[in-house]
Amino acid sequence: MLAICGQYVLDRVREPGSAPVERLGGAPAFAASALRRLGLTALILAKGGTPALRAPLEAGGGLEVVVGPSRATFVSELEIFGDGQRHQAIGALGDPFAPTDVAGWMAPALARARTVVAGAQWRGDFPGRTLRALARGGRTVYLDAQGPARVSEVGPVRLEGPLDPAWVAGVHVLKCSEEEAEALLGGTDAAAAARSPTPIVVITQGHHGAAVFEGGRETVVGAERIRGLADTVGAGDAFLGLMAEGTDRGASPAEAAQRACEGVSAILRARRDAAERGRGS
């Protein structure tokens, strides 16, 4: 069984010529949506948000959702442009996941999980002690590198490295964007991936697909380019959730990454088509 752990995020999204829209974001939302779309199951362990913000995820079937106590909600401020580029700032930080969360409200669900995704939002969201606790019992831990790459401060998102091994304690798979790999590892090639103490590094490359580095070997997997789409927010969360689910069911990392790319392409294609229908109505 797969467990997706992360913050419920309040995404404030602005597109050119449109008023800002507030919507649910974060790994629990985007990974869960991808899994549900493909008829897959997972446990969702989340913090933050309000009942109204969480409603779109918790109303859907097929996924077990557990919400832990928190005093704050992570806020992401996004400005999306028609060419697929975006500017992002952190409006507020949430409550970090602590080892006491793992031993407390998360424990009953984690007892059934073999694989865990830590959908980190900022450095310190999942400290090393928490990641080690998640890995206990032989669980495989996937970590989104946007967490350790992002400096823990409100304002424009700032990526800073190099990667401290303590930030990825207990992690088996580290998923980076190209920008995060440059900041944390100093590059996107095999030599850079070898600087991570994690057994596997996955570097996503947008519409080009992803590169999986394992045991000194690089495997490149492709993706379909979805033209005419500006809003790709959450694609990385969807990819990580789908890849982790694939390996949890026995696929190799490269096989799971390929299927994840295919799944994300299908999701983005549907998002583009829905946006086009909305503009035409």
* Secondary structure (H, E, C), the chain: CEEEEEECEEEEEECCCCCCEEEEECHHHHHHHHHHHCCCCCEEEEECCCHHHHHHHHCCCCCEEEECCCCCCEEEEEEECCCCCEEEEEEECCCCCCHHHHHCCCHHHHCCCCEEEEECCCCCCCCHHHHHHHHHHHCEEEEECHHHHECCCCEECCECCCCCHHHHCCCCEEEEEHHHHHHHHCCCCHHHHCCCCCCEEEEECHHHCEEEEECCEEEEECCCCCCCCCCCCCHHHHHHHHHHHHHHCCCCHHHHHHHHHHHHHHHHHHHHHHHHHHHHC
Band the pLDDT of 69: cuts 50, 70, 90: very high
Residue pLDDT, tens place only, 32-52: 989 998 889 999 999 998 888
Mean of pLDDT over the chain: 92
Question: Residue 170 has what pLDDT?
Answer: 95
Structural domain count of the chain: 1
Q: pTM of the prediction?
A: 0.94
Q: What is the mean pLDDT of residues 209-220?
A: 95
- Does pLDDT of 82 surpass 70? no
| Cα distances (Å, whole numbers) of residue 176 to 112, 119, 146, 204, 267 | 27, 12, 7, 6, 20
- Does pLDDT of 109 surpass 70? yes
Band the pLDDT of 83: cuts 50, 70, 90: low
Residue pLDDT, tens place only, 153-176: 999 999 999 999 999 999 999 999
Residue pLDDT, tens place only, 221-274: 987 777 777 678 889 999 999 999 999 999 999 999 999 999 998 888 888 887
Q: Calculate helix-pair angle for 235-248, 253-280, nearest 10 degrees.
A: 140
**Six-digit token string for 18:** 């449109």
Residue pLDDT, tens place only, 124-133: 999 999 999 9
Question: Residue 20 has what pLDDT?
Answer: 87
Distance CA 203, CA 174 (A): 8
Question: Residue 30 has what pLDDT?
Answer: 92
Question: Which of 204, 276, 275, 234 is CA-nearest to residue 88?
Answer: 234
Distance CA 103, CA 105 (A): 7
CATH number of the domain that residue 274 is part of: 3.40.1190.20
Each residue of 188-215: b (16+ CB within 10 Å) or e? Answer: beeebbebbebebbbbbbebebbbbbbe
Band the pLDDT of 60: cuts 50, 70, 90: low
Range of the domain at 15: 2-280
Question: Residue 230 has what pLDDT?
Answer: 66
